[in-house]
Structure 1
Amino acid sequence: MEEIQKKASTGVEGLDDILSGGLQRGRLYLVEGSPGTGKTTIASQFLLAGAEAGERGLYITLSETEEELRESAASHGWKFEEPNAIFELVPPESLLDEDQQQSLLYSSDLELGETTKRIFEAIEKHKPIRVVIDSLSEIRLLAQSSLRYRRQVLSLKHYFSRTGATVVMLDDLTSDSHDKTVHSVAHGVIRLDELAPDYGAERRRLRVLKYRGQNFRGGYHDLIIKTGGVQVFPRLVSAEHRSKFKRETLKSNSTELNTLLGGGIERGSSTLILGPAGTGKSLLSLTFAVQAVERGEKAAVFIFDEEIGLLFQRAKGLGLDLEQLQKSGNLLVEQVDAAELAPGEFAHRVRVCVEQHKVRTVIVDSLNGYQAAMPEEKQLILHMHELLQFLNRQGATTFLTVAQHGLVGDMRSPVDVTYLADTVILLRYFEAVGRVRRAISVIKKRTSAHEDTIREYRIGQKGINLGEPLTNFQGVLRGVPEMVGIDKALMDLET
């Protein structure tokens, strides 16, 4: 009895999670979406998942030929073979012959009746446990009216309910996208959408519109079609992911930086590093990643803005051998193409690093590149909020970089996420004694007190070197400070 009540897996990675385990057996479901959104691929995976469990499946196609379906399956490395079967429903020869078409009687009556009869015959012959009907647009066109179409769908539903089969009907929305007849009849409705950004690859997403008597994960979920089928990335809900960990203070190798940070960075917190281009944001964040590996932990770096080979070369010149750490398996470095990546897929990659690879330090460099993967800034804030909350609750320490517009003077950020981060480190250029210099300060820290001074720092062959607090300057953060006395800290750093 338990085996009968067990839900039918869709065979689509991520979709069963959204549906709380899969499809309730013996019910009729609708998967709708415009052509190219992945309906046929999902339906094929549904039947293949059943075949793996020894369940007979039947693909009834009214819109594609059997040859086309088999070729499509072969492109993913699949084969439609026992216990699955394909039934290609083509019009009888009498309906294709113009001389034999009815003139007084409506030919659509004969076509619809013949279509239904042949569907029932195919079901009786194969006795499938899983059924796919592709597509309802053809049946809607044959019905010609909403009333006849609804009656036809209801007759199919009642017939399938007697057989106990789990049925997935596909609708490509080409005949009437406003017809919601099947929505009220179906036990569950899944909608697929395709978005075309101004630049980059198309984006696909999925939403469950209805699932009777069953909780499901609402909202939009990104999906991709790749060789091997459709993969869905369930929308991340941070409240569902909590783990116990010790909130210890993680110290860096720099005494001055630790003092500036009030002792260090707390585990399970997020740090935002702000500054214009060239101030060392990436280097500072990578320093924390390297030190995490030195503590015996794993770290992950997601790079949006720089080519990975160039990053390795540049970091090595500053005393950080990232390539060697990557080869050891303790540092995961992944280059991300924002134009080809959906935000849900990026969140999934981060989750895999934390949950499967046990990564405890995550670097995102930078949010400027991450923003390019977002339709609008508001969604970026929501995505980052959930992602940071998830990482914090998993005990992962996160470092984010944001490149500000401009070099000196008034700095502006393309996106304001300072209120999301637990710690905010500000890097600035300033001019003093005829030279362009760099300054670092901590402007926010939720977890503990921090030093409220401004320190100059240098980038050299051994990484970042901080000096003593600048006490005889004012206006450093504006970029053009005034010297109110001989600053000993400035003199010390010179030597």
Structure 2
Amino acid sequence: MPFWLRSELPMIDESAVGSKARTGVAGLDDILAGGLAPGHLFLLEGNPGTGKTTIALSFLLDGARRGEQGLYITLSETERELREGARSHGWSLPDNIKIFELVPPESLLDAAQQQSLLYSSDLELGEATKQIFEAFERVKPARVVLDSLSEIRLLAQSSLRYRRQILALKHYFARLGATVLLLDDLTSDTLDKTVHSVVHGVIRLEELAPEYGAERRRLRVSKYRGQSFRGGFHDFCIKHGGVQVFPRLIAAEHRSGFERRPMTSDIAELDALLGGGVEQGSSAMVLGPAGTGKSTFVLQFVAAAVRRGEKAAIFVFDEELGLLFNRTRTMGFDLEQMRSSGMLHIEQLDAAELSPGEFTHRVRANVTEAQAKTVVIDSLNGYQAAMPNENALVLHVHELLQFLNRQGATTFLTVAQHGLVGDMKSPVDITYLADTVILLRYFEALGKVRRAVSVIKKRTGAHEDTIREYRIGPNGLSLGAPLNEFQGVLRGVPTFVGRAEPLLDTSTAK
């Protein structure tokens, strides 16, 4: 199992969260600043299938591990279904978690014993409440889950009776010091916010269905009395072992001290073009049309970092790993050997199955836990495909780059532009976010298609303003002298204005 799945987030400081009841989901506890305040009612709402029951079981299991008694009161699912759901995640419910399956009394199911002077809902609601209190008295739990409020809302039949019933439950549980998680599947009267004003906190789960790919899940804490929390939407997923929540990254919360120094590529001409290299703790974007060698440029820096004894991480969206390994091995990059030595983490990502929050979490784990100092995202086009319905791509990238910069990691992003020669269009313009922008271009000269590289921008120091030809051969990347004898290289069809041929000799270039 990858390390980024084994530990979602750093352990929470116990002194900072006091005696809070953790939910058993590390990312959610981080959002809630440690967990749920003990002795209060909390609402966990969401449509069927969003993960409410899984989080509720995690909440009880966390209490059981701490020696606390737990009670799961179910009005919708059977005890068998709950235990089967727990087993699907590899969980076995211990003896200190009791399941109370609330079913209508036999007298209410027998037509011959039903009364005509009172509405059956009055009897059912009163009997249901009585059974809940009796189950609580028998178990005397510290943590309670009540699933689901939709059944109680239907029995109450009016908003006034429903509110009074919830208030009665609140005062009863509060008097006995229990921490209660109320589940609401939003299948009846979704506009009724009665419980929102009564409970101590509200967590809402949502499921989104993109036009293509797996469903996306996210959550938001809309209320937490007397407590700060991490606001906004946070991505999460349901996998074997439970729910994994990926808190929204806030770069300003993460700072570290490091010495800034140039990170070289070990190619003298490329380092000279960059004014000595790419500054540590900065971001570099390699921009160009398909086939110009964007991946090859960033791999030069990865290989150089590994030779210096530094760890690196590559996240590939566009190319199959087997093909990438074979292709780059012919150029002198043995990525498989780097990976087996533990110096390189490389993984292929499926844009249709990945949320932006999970991707950010994977990158973050490689930097904070695996201590990767060079990070490659290849490409930003694939990253954009992972969030087709997101309108905040620039903000996602901004927070991620700021975080990596403050951790002392050097980040390389590749962007494939539309077109091959002439006027190029980028799928998204975030060049202003990158500290260094390296531009690759095709151009025609002497009857051949050639490649040119230039540095358009570098925030952290001086760089050459020249344009150099480069070649990708059996020995990797090689750069020539500045193309001082040409004009219009970036337009794709340059004009030769010199007296000598300054181009690379393709028969001898290495």
TM norm. shorter chain > 0.5: yes
Cα deviation digits, residues 441-483 of structure 1 (max 9, x gap): 0001000011011100000011110000001111111111111
Q: Pick from 87, 92, 95 the counterpart of residue 105 of structure 2.
A: 92
Alpha-carbon distance between aligned partners in 1 of 2:176 and 2:117, rounded to the nearest angstrom: 37
- Distance verdict in 2 for CA 1:4–1:250, change over 3 Å: closer
Q: How much has 1:3 moved relative to structure 2?
A: 13
Alpha carbons of structure 1 residues 57 and 321: separation in structure 2 relative to 1, 3 Å: same
Using a 3 Å threshold, how does the CA distance of structure 1 residues 491 and 25 change in structure 2: closer, same or farther?
closer
| Secondary structure at the counterpart of residue 90 of structure 2 | coil
Q: Are the equivalent residues in 2 in contact too, given 1:5–1:25 (CA < 8 A)? A: no
Aligned to 2:210: 197
Task: Encode CA deviations 1:398-436: one digit per residue, 9 max, x unaligned.
Answer: 000000111111111111110100000000100110000
Among candidates 179, 184, 196, match of residue 183 of structure 1:
196
1:212 has 2:260 as partner = no
8 Å Cα contact 1:430-1:438 kept in structure 2: yes
Q: SS state of the match for residue 253, structure 1?
A: coil
Task: Find the counterpart in structure 2 of residue 102 from structure 1.
Answer: 115
Q: 3-state SS of the aligned residue for 1:48?
A: helix
Letter in 2 for 1:30: L
**Secondary structure of 1:340's aligned partner:** coil
Contact 2:282–2:410 (Cα < 8 Å) also in 1: yes
Partner Cα distance (2:412, 2:395) in 1: 17
Contact 2:28 2:247 in 1 (8 A): yes
2:378 pairs with one of 357, 361, 365: 365
* 8 Å CA contact 2:141, 2:178 repeated in 1: yes
- Per the normalisation by structure 1, the TM-score is 0.98
2:61 is the alignment partner of 1:73: no
Q: How far apart are 1:81 and its partner, in Å?
A: 2.5
Calculate the TM-score normalised by the size of structure 2: 0.95
Identify the match of residue 51 of structure 1 among 49, 64, 81. 64
Asked if 1:345 corresponds to 2:358, the answer is yes
Q: Distance in 2 between matches of 1:3 and 1:164?
A: 21
Q: Tell me the equivalent position of 1:221.
A: 234
> Which AA in structure 2 matches 1:469?
P
Aligned to 1:262: 275
Rounded Cα–Cα distance in structure 2 between residues aligned with 1:100 and 1:369: 65
Q: Distance in 2 between matches of 1:122 and 1:487?
A: 94
* Structure-2 separation of matches of 1:121 and 1:377: 48
Q: Which of 240, 243, 250 is residue 263 of structure 2 equivalent to?
A: 250
Q: Is the 8 A contact 1:429 1:436 kept in 2?
A: yes
Structure 2 counterpart of 1:424: 437
What corresponds to 1:120 in structure 2? 133
Q: 1:172 to 1:265 in 2, by over 3 A?
A: same
Q: Distance in 2 between matches of 1:485 and 1:84?
A: 84
Residue 410 of structure 1 aligns with an amino acid whose one-letter code is D
In angstroms, what is the RMSD of aligned CA positions? 1.3
Structure 2 counterparts to residues 322-341 of structure 1, below 5 A = 322-341=335-354
- Per-residue deviation at 1:83? 0.7
Task: Show CA shifts across 1:308-335 (max 9, x none).
Answer: 1110100001111111010000011011
Query: Paired residue for 1:391, among 396, 401, 404?
Result: 404
Correspondent of 2:153 among 140, 149, 168: 140
- What one-letter code is carried by the residue in structure 2 that aligns with 1:10? T
2:370 and 2:500 map into 1 onto residues whose CA distance is 48
User: Which residue does 1:32 correspond to in 2?
Assistant: 45
Give the number of equivalent residue pairs.
494
The answer to whether the Cα contact below 8 Å between 2:108 and 2:124 also exists between their aligned partners in 1 is: yes
1:474 corresponds to: 487
CA distance in 2, matches of 1:446, 1:54: 56
Cα 1:84/1:205, change in 2 over 3 Å = same
Give the match for residue 427 of structure 2: 414
1:483/1:65 CA distance change after superposition, 3 Å: same
2:480–2:504 CA contact under 8 A, matched in 1? no
Is the 1:261–1:451 contact (alpha carbons within 8 Å) kept by the matching residues of 2?
A: yes
Distance 1:268 1:33, change over 3 A: same
Distance 2:214 2:101 in 1: 33
| 8 Å CA contact 2:331, 2:475 repeated in 1 | yes
Find the aligned partners of 1:262 and 1:4 in 2 and give their Cα distance: 48
1:485, distance to aligned residue in structure 2 (A): 2.4
Counterpart contact for 1:273–1:425, Cα < 8 Å: yes
Amino acid at match of 2:490: L
Cα distance in 2 for partners of 1:142, 1:112 equals 6
**Does structure 1 residue 355 correspond to structure 2 residue 375?**
no
Moved more, 114-123 or 370-379: 370-379
Distance apart, 1:493 and its partner CA: 6.0
**Any idea what the Cα deviations from partners look like across 1:66-101, whole Å, max 9, x if unmatched?**
010011011011122311100000011111123333
Report the CA distance between 1:5 and its aligned residue.
5.4
Q: Of 386, 394, 401, which aligns to 1:381?
A: 394
Give the drift of 1:300.
0.3
Match of 1:446 among 434, 451, 459: 459
Greater mean alpha carbon deviation, residues 251-260 or residues 114-123: 251-260
CA distance in 1, matches of 2:87, 2:462: 61
* Per-residue Cα deviation, 1:8-27 (whole angstroms, up to 9, x for no partner): 11001211100001111001
Structure 1 residues 223, 105: closer, same or farther in 2, change over 3 A?
A: same
Partner of 1:305: 318
Query: Does the C-alpha gap of structure 1 residues 487 and 217 become closer, same or farther in structure 2, counting only changes over 3 Å?
Result: farther
CA distance in 1, matches of 2:404, 2:57: 35
Task: Give the SS at the match of 2:392.
Answer: helix
- SS of residue paired to 1:224: strand
Q: Give the aligned residue type for 2:133.
A: F
Counterpart-to-counterpart distance in 1, 2:389 and 2:282: 26
Q: Secondary structure at the match of 1:258?
A: helix
Q: In structure 1, what is the equivalent of residue 296 of structure 2? A: 283
Q: Whole-Å Cα distance in 2 between the matches of residues 222 and 27 of structure 1?
A: 26
Q: Tell me the percent identity.
A: 72
User: CA 1:394–1:4 in 2, change beyond 3 Å: closer, same or farther?
Assistant: closer
User: Deviation string for 1:321-357 (max 9, x for gaps)?
Assistant: 1110100000110111110000000000011100100
Q: Is the contact between residue 473 and residue 487 of structure 1 (CA under 8 Å) also seen in structure 2?
A: no
Deviation of 1:376 after TM superposition, in Å, equals 4.3
The answer as to whether partners of 1:236 and 1:386 remain within 8 angstroms in 2 is: yes
* 1:231-246 equivalences in 2 (<5 Å): 231-246=244-259
